[in-house]
């Protein structure tokens, strides 16, 4: 499932390749991916120019010149690709936005994802308005993190996944940043010390930025320290990586580097 770093790369791609293009129309092969009837969807965006692309958490917003915005949610996965043609396979391409210059933006394999359209002034009343601070661009101070998490009896891994508190962190980077902070995922928010909140904030920033850097062409791919490595040795201490369940989600950890006690 795409998390903040992957979604940020989509934002950068759209900004680099699609800004300034004028929408000619839309082809919708899967109406479940949009929030209005297909004919209305096309009318809402036809003739408008893409003016601004921004992100909050795992959502990408595209503001158009007619005071309409698109909210792109990749959900479980998907690909966004600008092509020289609108030709496509309807079985794997849910939406195609055609542009006046003949190019087209293809949304492939969205897997429960969607591209909704709203009046720009209405965005704050959508799911966007229910999100907490962005984990990269609006990361709270140490005191802010303590205010969000420090009184809770929930496990810190569960708290990190609550998008209404801080948005953009998912299962993968939640595991990775807790490893970086040396915190066991089952630690309750209210048990964390001030020094541990300092480590947590540093780990959030360092982990997300490292993941972003790994997605540049010249960088090696991101290699998780614990996520998806159940039964393998920890690269830091050699202890066996473990997997546990928290609120029906998995959590990976090194029991030596991330002690519970």
Q: Which residues are catalytic?
A: 2-3, 58, 249
Same domain, residue pair 58 and 106: yes
- The rounded mean pLDDT for the chain is 97
Same domain, residue pair 156 and 100: no
Largest CA distance in the chain: 61
Same domain, residue pair 169 and 87: no
Same domain, residue pair 110 and 9: yes
Residue-range definition of the domain harbouring residue 79: 4-128
CB of 176 closer than 8 Å to CB of 212: no
Q: Kindly report the CATH number assigned to the domain that includes residue 146.
A: 1.10.8.50
| pLDDT tens track for 211-221 | 999 998 888 99
Same domain, residue pair 139 and 114: no
Same domain, residue pair 110 and 152: no
CB-count burial class (<10 Å; 0-12, 13-18, 19+) for 16: exposed
CB of 161 closer than 8 Å to CB of 84: no
| pLDDT tens track for 197-211 | 999 999 999 999 999
Same domain, residue pair 10 and 118: yes
Identify the band that residue 171 occupies on the pLDDT scale cut at 50, 70 and 90.
Answer: very high
Same domain, residue pair 172 and 159: yes
User: What whole-number percentage of the chain has pLDDT above 70?
Assistant: 100
Q: Specify the pTM.
A: 0.95
Residue 119 lies in a domain: yes
| pLDDT tens track for 4-14 | 999 999 999 99
Residue 149 lies in a domain: yes
| pLDDT tens track for 93-146 | 999 999 999 999 999 999 899 999 999 999 999 999 999 999 999 999 999 999
């Amino acid at each position: 499932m795409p998390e903040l770093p992957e979604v940020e790369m989509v934002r950068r791609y759209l900004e680099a390749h699609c800004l300034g293009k004028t929408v000619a129309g839309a082809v919708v092969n899967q109406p479940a991916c949009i929030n209005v009837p297909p004919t209305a969807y096309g009318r809402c965006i036809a003739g408008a120019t893409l003016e601004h692309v921004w992100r909050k958490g795992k959502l990408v917003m595209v503001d158009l010149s007619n005071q309409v915005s698109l909210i792109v949610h990749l959900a479980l996965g998907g690909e966004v690709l600008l092509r020289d043609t609108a030709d496509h396979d309807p079985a794997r391409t849910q939406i195609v936005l055609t542009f006046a210059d003949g190019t087209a933006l293809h949304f492939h394999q969205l897997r429960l994802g969607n591209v909704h359209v709203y009046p720009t002034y209405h965005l704050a009343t959508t799911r966007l308005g229910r999100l907490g601070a962005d984990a990269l661009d609006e990361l709270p101070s140490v005191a802010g993190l303590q205010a969000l998490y420090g009184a809770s009896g929930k496990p810190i891994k569960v708290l990190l996944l609550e998008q209404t508190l801080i948005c953009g962190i998912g299962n993968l980077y939640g595991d990775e940043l807790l490893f970086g902070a040396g915190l066991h995922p089952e630690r309750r928010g209210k048990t964390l010390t001030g020094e541990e909140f300092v480590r947590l904030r540093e780990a959030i920033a360092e982990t997300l930025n490292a993941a972003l850097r790994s997605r540049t062409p010249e960088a090696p791919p991101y290699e998780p320290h614990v996520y998806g490595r159940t039964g393998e040795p920890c690269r830091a201490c050699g202890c066996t990586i473990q997997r546990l369940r928290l609120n029906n989600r998995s959590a990976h950890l090194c029991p030596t580097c991330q002690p519970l006690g």
